Structure 1
Amino acid sequence: MEKDLKKRNRVTQQKLEKAVELLEVLADEEQECSLSALAKRIGVSRYKTMRLLESLQNKGVVQCAVESGRYNRSCAELLSRRLQKKAGRFRHARVMESFLRRSHETGCPSLVSEARPVLESLARQHNEAMYLTVLKGDEVLFVDMVDRQGEMKAEPLLGMCYPFFSNAAGKAMRSIDSWDLLEKIGKRWRRGQPGFPDLAIFKGELELIREQGVAVDCGGLGEGIVTVAVAVRDYAGKVVGAVAMLGPSFRMIGARLEQEIIPSLRVGGELLSTKFGYVRQ
């Protein structure tokens, strides 16, 4: 009986996975798609594909054009995005939980608890969303946030991960690494994934960030979003995280950015680094 139950659960899980995969295919299709084409895309028979589509159609998730016998995206695009977003949030929450647990087990001063007053102070001073980030491999993990006051709130990025080269926080932290290490990372990314910037141009950008002690990025975390970040270092000069401010470009440009935000973040980053024993040379 236990074996039968496990088998039924496994079959149910496989059906759910194929149903989600089918939704993703429909959501990606720009035009209507035939049953044969859908079956080929998800790797199952036409009969199984038809049964899945019937279930989804009965729920009003997809629609079939009777005359052509083709299926269109209908609600599939919206539902697929919701499913993927929920799955992504769950994965990112697990990643953040793992980070916080490891920090607690080391017995070291908690970066989150030490950074919280700094984030709150900067958020009050500039009324912009503040984030604490750390490196997780080749990605930046957002581990804490203090939102701005008022009705217009920032996008909650807690637990989210982004490639380090796509945002100011990642660039601020990686700018302190050796160029040999960054070259290895860049070559690895180029072999397996697209999007890594030209190495020569990226090197110049990181050298400037290292010299100025602050990174500014526009559009890396969304259209019209400006991110300003400074790295946090410990007693050995090792990067332990970064403090980042996010806001719309119309609020974070010109004199306010150069004369108010950047100097404040530099001070905040230095204060937090001092708590971890860093002494600027």
Structure 2
Amino acid sequence: MSQTVDRALSILPLLAEGPADLGQVADRLGVHKSTALRLLRTLLEHGLVYRQSDQRYRLGARLFALAQEAMESLDIREIAHPHLVRLNQQCGHTVHLAVHEEDEVLYIDKVDSRYPVRMYSRIGRPVAVTVAAVAKVLLADLPEPERRAVAEKLDYPPYTPRSTPHASAFLDELAAVREQGWAADLGGHEESVNCVAAPVRGADGRVAAAMSVSAPNVVVTAEELLTLLPLVRSTANAISGEYSGRTPVEKATA
């Protein structure tokens, strides 16, 4: 680890003890005030420290947000997995759990279909954001300015004739998903594969993850898959209830 990074990281446990001024930080690190100020400015730019009106520094809100995000990413898969397995047992199709991290939507869990035809997807791999149902659920929850910014910087590959063609159409889809509370990908990524997804919400009501059921046309038609939507949504509600610490809204039923 470089000396600069080591010194910068050493500031965080110091401020965890309480606010400190520039001189205290410099003394604790054993460096000149100009060096300490440079390190603090870097941490300040990233929201990891905050300068109070009395010119003392404390830990920044971004640090707590990162810690919370990390905790949620670690916990949600463990909480959701039994529900995903139960849903898979009830419908027989592939079940996914996905989260939004930085600029990607990633699968963090998967329960394979019991049918011979399997979905080519892997845990840890990003999804096709402009067409995937889980991505639509996750991005639809973003505040409008963020949704627009994300939509405008994306590319829109024509995977199939049903793929989302451009940012305006994508924003319309996200608005509809936000309103109806679920999303679908009916042949948008692969013509022969359909998917329906629902949100998993945290204690703050925000979407923390998205879960979905996917199946190829040779196993079930798009219309038949859509009939599973109440089961998908009730499973997502059950996960949300457990994840947020509330009583589940409703239990999944066959």
Give me the TM-score of the superposition, normalised by structure 1: 0.55
**What residue number does 1:224 align with?**
192
**Residue 277 in structure 1 maps to residue 244 in structure 2:** yes
Structure 1 residue 108, shift from structure 2 partner: 7.8
| Letter in structure 2 aligned against 1:143 | I
Structure 1 residue 234, shift from structure 2 partner: 0.2
Of the three residues 177, 189, 210, the one matched with 1:209 is 177
Q: Aligned residue pairs: how many?
A: 174
Query: Do the aligned partners of residues 122 and 172 (structure 1) sit closer, same or farther apart at CA in structure 2, a change above 3 Å counting?
Result: same
**Residue 155 in structure 1 maps to residue 95 in structure 2:** no
Structure 1 residue 170, shift from structure 2 partner: 0.3
Query: Do the aligned partners of residues 278 and 187 (structure 1) sit closer, same or farther apart at CA in structure 2, a change above 3 Å counting?
Result: farther
Q: Is the 8 A contact 1:138 1:164 kept in 2?
A: no
What is the alpha-carbon distance in structure 2 between the residues aligned to residue 235 and residue 107 of structure 1? 11
Matches within 5 A, 1:239-278: 239-250=207-218, 251-254=220-223, 256-259=224-227, 261-277=228-244
Structure with max Cα Rg:
1
What is the alpha-carbon distance in structure 1 between the residues aligned to residue 143 and residue 87 of structure 2? 30
Structure 1 residue 183, shift from structure 2 partner: 1.2
SS across alignment from 2:211: strand
What is the alpha-carbon distance in structure 2 between the residues aligned to residue 114 and residue 269 of structure 1? 11
Runs (4+) off by over 3 Å: 102-109, 193-197
Give me the TM-score of the superposition, normalised by structure 2: 0.61
Q: Is the 8 A contact 2:110 2:123 kept in 1?
A: yes
Structure 1 residue 278, shift from structure 2 partner: 7.3
Query: Do the aligned partners of residues 225 and 188 (structure 1) sit closer, same or farther apart at CA in structure 2, a change above 3 Å counting?
Result: same
What is the alpha-carbon distance in structure 2 between the residues aligned to residue 136 and residue 152 of structure 1? 29
**Residue 176 in structure 1 maps to residue 144 in structure 2:** no
Q: What's the CA shift string for 1:201-247, capped at 9, x where partnerless?
A: 22221222122211111234423111111111101112211111111
For structure 1, the 5+ residue unaligned runs are: 1-101
Of all paired residues, the percent bearing the same amino acid is 24
For structure 2, the 5+ residue unaligned runs are: 1-66, 158-163, 250-254
**Residue 198 in structure 1 maps to residue 166 in structure 2:** yes
